[in-house]
Chains A and B, each alone.
Chain A
């Protein structure tokens, strides 16, 4: 079996198994699973709205999936992408509001840098805590999520809201900070669909993350640390530095969700905008086998489920869009149970290991 096929096998089994189990559930609820799935994917892949919205929803998931991936490759579990993207989205909006009158050629890069660096900063905090004091990044990133959400809500409510606005959102950013929606370039693709340049940026980031991790000395050091910190140390690599660096890069990637959300979609900071992007990013990275190409595919699948789910809600008799949550949950369960699969499939896979050890 080729390496590629091996890498693809378990994610495919997980997805397939999830749809089978989900299908049984749909049957039990009283609908026809084939009809439901056709509705789900038919609406997620229709032109232009289905595809447009699926790609739009995939954008933040690619960013957060990459963020989690970079952490994983360094042996770190970044559960803090959610907090990082909130901080970054708010910082992006803040720059867009404060320097609203700046020339777009300056303002947009400025907003980008705000998203990237504020995310990197928020991500680096648990990195420093781990490198300096050895405190576990899982605990600290979870805590920092709460702090981030509360912090941006506070600033929105008391400092950046338009007085009298019943919605918890900031005043709009300057028009110069808006980035183009893809409808502007694609004939027949309406501009009302919020799919924007950030999607292309996300794809570019996949390429950059790949080059960074597998083609640069820094990526080598991060991966070596993730693979075996003792050996990395032996090779003259500062494990502490790698932990901080990886968390900062991870945070920066999560922060770029702010570009999609603020500069390409709502043109303001809208409190509580994230549909658990940071957490779904963990599933995206796992299903994507911690590889940038896998992250794209997994993000597309999860985005399609998310968008198609809305139609399932509206047009099927009994099943609601919660079925999407169920499917996602089962996929994650099956991915987590990969070791169990390998054991069940037995022989072939475990034997490779055993022979290596003889």
Chain B
């Protein structure tokens, strides 16, 4: 169906695609896997006409084709669904789908016939989408199906899906895979770009593995396993499962008592939540994103105005409610934020300056004149220690944080927060956008900190991560704790159900 031959694409000094060969057979589901920056999205964007390759050729149905723009790709029956949906919230499903491919003549828009056509397509693939519903009333999963419909409406025979499951709950993922299988049965070809190995194994027929812009492996899914794929992606053996001993649990460090966090509109983002975290254990919070996790962690870190908080937060017997972020840090509470660009880093500042955020105002960072001046030697030492201990690359403390990859930025933040030997660590999405190799490292570091007696509260949207790391697992839904499970025995289905249904 689609074949990329010797595709090379260079961005400045960066070789994004280096003689890439990909063959996608018709009526199959083909997974393209690789770490961030491996070049998988670039290759697919070339196939969809977003970029033009520097050299190499694209074959569609065995003929060499010149795809200069997405328009050409659509004409050849290639559709693409992006990670971020391109939908107009206030318009209906049908209006969104015909946008850019309006039926009828230019003056009289024939939305009715379009709607009936969409309804037919929706029934054919069991998408259960009502063409007259406005987009803003739809769930994320439904919106994704609208994107699929958009491609199908334009007669796409090949669908390229970029990280399609990133926004879905486990249940929605199952439904979504069922849809993909139905499409394959109807003769459609699907390319799925992903880095989640479990999904590759569950859905695909064939896998192309990319690393550093090159294709490093082509395998039949039935002949491979997660360990082999991970090894191909990273280029070395990777420990997929977190190895940890039973926790040596101490006294409660953090006690949260009937905590509610109210937003500016007066609605409760966190609703009457009670739990504790003891030293030496990792308490996980699983949930679909946007169910109050962000607000909970920010409230605990002192980043929410106390006026918006009800209930109690107690750390080592002291109420945190009216303490600012600085005082909480001084007590030994560290925080690895979910959004490292917005919260965690000063992107234009050097690594040295980033390594002292939060402790910049006190010795040993300050010196002279009663601690007014910054001690550059102390800062340099601290930065070098963090870079060395957490293997931040490139190991150049004078670089701006912006110049690092996501994984290395995350390692810098973790190193900074570890450097104060915290008693309580609040950590959110520690491995988001981080390569597999670094994920393994970060997981080991979290377990090591736990074993050193730190209390850790872990929020993650990655179910596998949160279940494998946590000693106890709370499930949050709509701001409430929907249940607590033992992550060693609970099934993903059980957890997924609590995540979506509440009880």
Q: Hey, which bits of chain A sit against chain B, CB under 8 A?
A: 215-218, 220-221, 223-224, 227-228, 230-238, 347-348, 350-351, 353-356, 358
Contact = CB atoms under 8 A, between A and B. Distances in A.
B405 A230 contact: no
Contacts of B373: 215-217
Contacts of B371: 217
B343 A234 contact: yes
Contacts of A227: 346-349
Task: Give the one of B36, B301, B348, B372 with max A CB within 10 A.
Answer: B372
Interface string B481-492: 000000000000
Interface of B: 11-14, 16, 36-37, 301-303, 324-329, 335, 337, 342-349, 353, 356-358, 360-361, 365-366, 371-374, 402-405
Given A230-B343, A231-B357, A234-B337, A354 B14 contact: yes
Given A227-B349, A358-B37, A234 B12 contact: no
25 contacts: A216-B372, A217-B361, A217-B371, A217-B374, A221-B360, A221-B361, A223-B349, A227-B347, A227-B348, A227-B349, A228-B346, A231-B344, A231-B346, A232-B357, A233-B303, A234-B301, A234-B303, A234-B335, A234-B344, A236-B324, A236-B328, A236-B358, A238-B324, A355-B12, A358-B405
A354 B405 CA distance: 11
A235 B358 contact: yes
A358 B405 CA distance: 7
B402 A356 contact: yes
Contacts of B353: 220
B347 to A, nearest CB: 7
A342 to B, nearest CB: 14
Contacts of B16: 358
Contacts of A217: 360-361, 365-366, 371-374
Contacts of B14: 351, 354-355, 358
A236 B360 CA distance: 10
B325 A233 contact: yes
B360 A235 contact: yes
A354 B42 CA distance: 13
B407 to A, nearest CB: 12
Contacts of A353: 402
Nearest to B345: A231
B427 to A, nearest CB: 13
Contacts of B342: 228, 230-231
Given A217-B366, A355-B11, 17 more contacts: A215-B374, A220-B353, A220-B356, A220-B374, A230-B343, A231-B344, A234-B301, A234-B344, A235-B360, A236-B302, A236-B327, A347-B12, A351-B12, A355-B13, A355-B14, A356-B404, A358-B16
Contacts of A354: 11-12, 14
Task: Give the one of A223, A230, A232, A358 with max B CB within 10 A.
Answer: A358
A342 B371 CA distance: 41
Rank and list the top 3 A-B pairs by shortest CB-CB distance, nearest first.
A351-B12, A236-B326, A235-B357
Contacts of B348: 227
A237 B301 CA distance: 13
A235 B342 CA distance: 12
Nearest to A350: B12
A351 B343 contact: no
Contact of A224 (B326, B349, B365): B349
Contacts of B36: 358
Contacts of B346: 224, 227-228, 231-232
A206 to B, nearest CB: 18
Nearest to B365: A217
Given A234-B337, A236-B326, A236-B329, A224 B13 contact: no
Contacts of A358: 11, 14, 16, 36-37, 405
A2 B181 CA distance: 55
A239 to B, nearest CB: 11
A224 B325 CA distance: 15
B374 A216 contact: yes
A235 B303 CA distance: 10
A231 B338 CA distance: 12
Given A224-B357, A235-B360, A347-B12, A356 B372 contact: no
B403 A351 contact: no
B103 to A, nearest CB: 38
Contacts of B358: 234-236
Contacts of A221: 360-361
A344 to B, nearest CB: 16
B416 to A, nearest CB: 10
A223 B36 CA distance: 31
Task: Give the one of A216, A220, A238 with max B CB within 10 A.
Answer: A220
A163 B405 CA distance: 71
Nearest to B403: A356
A87 B365 CA distance: 38
A170 to B, nearest CB: 38
A228 B324 contact: no
A350 B365 CA distance: 35
B18 to A, nearest CB: 14
A210 B366 CA distance: 17
